[in-house]
Structure 1
Amino acid sequence: MTTPYELSPQQHDAVSALDGPQRYQHFIARIADTQVVYGLRTEEGWVSACDDAGAEGMPVWPHPAYALACAAGEWADGTPAAIDVFDFADDWLPAMSAQAVNAIVFPTAAMSGVLVEAAKLGEDLEEALTKY
């Protein structure tokens, strides 16, 4: 895994302010490039969230600083943790899909993330990885 890229406060704020589809595209491009994805872990395991219908999702980010910005409220004990992008694509996403767990891509501190089926995220990620 590569080290996270440099992220200035201005870049953090600008990317966080993008709308959902733009953050999703940024996420895909960055994790394909850096070959690492980040989640939040607590002592109990990886953080997750449920939508109003009860569908479970796992939040993921392209950089630990974005994850850390969301470590508040129910996720206050969360610490950013790296996942190798190939493990994520080959193992995590299929397992999430089999368990009907969605990905919550790049939620912001306001908790607005892009809800994506794990299989769809896997397809988009595989396509992006072929470019690297």
Structure 2
Amino acid sequence: MLLNNKEIEVVSKLPTSKRYEYFIKKVADFEEVWGLFDDGWAISEDDNGNPLMPFWPKKAFAILCAVDEWKNYKAEQIELEDFIQEWLPGMKADGIKPSIFWNNLDSAILDIDTLILDLEAELKKY
């Protein structure tokens, strides 16, 4: 599904909680998650220096964040099943939190267990 520029602009400006809800619904709808990759996946840090890995619901949103230190990164798709079964448990073991729907200003940062529960609850609706 292609997004129009207006939708991208409007959704990108939503508060983090609304972008998180959008993320959960869209990744459940299309069974894919997007990250940025260039010789490794994009990683950022919170204010305390803890590692964060950013994820987006659509390629277009990830591309908008491929700027500055991520300017050479490309949007890469991750199958939702792999994300839930492999990525998130691996990130938890490595002490990396998900940064959901970064918009170059802020993102929803939460525990992996919460993210898994929210995704599974949304998937049960299908």
Tell me whether the two structures share a fold, i.e. TM-score over 0.5. Answer: yes
Q: Which amino acid aligns with 2:62?
A: A
Secondary structure class of the residue paired with 1:53: coil
SS in 2 for 1:21: helix
Deviations 1:40-93 (A, max 9, x none): 001x21001011211111100010110000000111111000000011011111
> Aligned partner of 2:52: which letter?
G
Specify the alignment match of 1:75 in structure 2.
Answer: 70
Point out where structure 1 has 5 or more consecutive residues left out of the alignment.
Answer: none
Q: Distance in 1 between matches of 2:55 and 2:24?
A: 11
Whole-angstrom CA distance in 2 between matches of 1:121 and 1:90 = 12
Q: Distance in 2 between matches of 1:60 and 1:69?
A: 12
Structure 2: 5+ residue runs without aligned partners? Answer: none
Runs (4+) off by over 4 Å: none
Question: Which residue in 1 is equivalent to 2:44?
Answer: 49
SS at match of 1:28: helix
Check the 8 A contact 1:40/1:67 in 2, yes or no. Answer: yes
Instruction: Quote the residue 1:18 is aligned against.
Output: 14
Alignment TM-score, normalising by the size of structure 2: 0.96
Q: Which residue of 2 aligns with 1:90?
A: 85
